[in-house]
Amino acid sequence: MKILVVDDSKTMRMIVRRTLRQAGYGSHAVEESANGKEALDSIKASHPDLVLCDWNMPEMNGLELLQALKAEEICVNFGFVTSEGTDEMRSTASENGALFLITKPFTADVFQEKLGPVLS
Amino acid sequence: MSEEAVTIKDWLDAVVSSSKDLASTALGIDDFEVISIREDPAKDVESAFIALVGEQASVQIGVASSTEGCQQLARTLLAMEPDEEDLAEDEVTDAVGEVANIIAGQVKTEMAEKSISVNLGIPIFLHGHVKVTEEMELMIADVRMGSIPVSLLVLENHSGATPN
């Protein structure tokens, strides 16, 4: 399976990769994008099985990416991994089709709980 | 709680609480101590700031340390081994910015429970000291995360304008 990690912070992309390994998903192929715009191109080109996306990014944020995917009728499993987790944002994420919203800082256990149903 | 009841000390308390949580989870550091609370500007340091701006509030949250402290913070966040080479400046900047981003996200969530709605900006990294104007108020918590000395800053803008 292929996972696309979208975050404008290289550090956070590295931490997400590490947490994926710790959660037992180290055998999956992982690609990276630094913002929503890059991610949209990458999703169209490589069709990942799961997108793990930050919310707050320059160029195109995570919600705008999710809405762009919906507008272009591109179906992909999509979850947010973000520092913000208000009730309003969780509702917005869910209404727009996100499967989950993981807040930073996170643990491997949380990744297993949220990603398990998608990757198993 | 009404918005008038949220003071700069409340913001700082939220920042300290979020930092303690971040230290124990993302950094694996349970040894967290608040050394002092002060209002005078920090001396020259490396700082990552992130703005939280809304109709009811306009603050900036900062995470500051020495060059060596920022390097330690970044290395710890990335779980680097002691024998690995020091990170480059842009990698440290990115990592400390992400620390500020995580703290700010938790603070936003905590403040939302008090009906204070704000949007987060993108982290910026500064070298030097904070200059406080008449329209601003500054409060700083000097803390220790394990062996890493860190200053947590809240800069509140009372003019209502977006900080820059």
CB pairs under 8 A between A and B: 58
Q: For residue range B61-111, what is the model confidence (pLDDT) as tens digits? A: 999 999 999 999 999 999 899 899 999 999 999 999 999 999 999 999 999
- Say if the Cβ atoms of A10 and B94 lie within 8 Å: yes
Q: How far apart are the CA of B132 and the nearest CA of chain A, in angstroms?
A: 27
Burial of B99 (0-12, 13-18, 19+ CB in 10 A): buried
Check pLDDT > 90 for residue B159.
no
Contacts of A105 in chain B (CB under 8 A): 21-22, 25-26, 102
Contacts of A87 in chain B (CB under 8 A): 112
Q: Which of A14, A82, A87 sits opposite B105 (nearest CB)?
A: A82
Contacts of B108 in chain A (CB under 8 A): 84, 86
Q: Which of A13, A83, A86, A104 to mutate to test the interface with B (most CBs of B within 10 A)?
A: A83
The ipTM value here is 0.83
Structure tokens at B117: 């709605």
DSSP symbols for B117-133: --EE---EEEEE-PPP-
Q: For residue range B19-29, what is the model confidence (pLDDT) as tens digits? A: 999 999 899 99
User: In chain B, at which residue ranges do the beta strands (DSSP E only) sit?
Assistant: 32-38, 45-53, 58-65, 119-120, 124-128, 136-145, 148-157
- Say if the Cβ atoms of B79 and A18 lie within 8 Å: yes
Q: Which of B22, B94, B112 sits opposite A11 (nearest CB)?
A: B94
pLDDT at A16: 96
Q: Among A20-24, A114-118, B12-16, B53-57, which is the least confidently predicted range? A: B53-57
- pLDDT-derived band at B162, boundaries 50, 70, 90: very low
pLDDT at A85: 87
Element (H, E) at A33: strand A29-33
Q: For residue range A53-81, what is the model confidence (pLDDT) as tens digits? A: 999 999 999 999 999 999 999 999 999 99
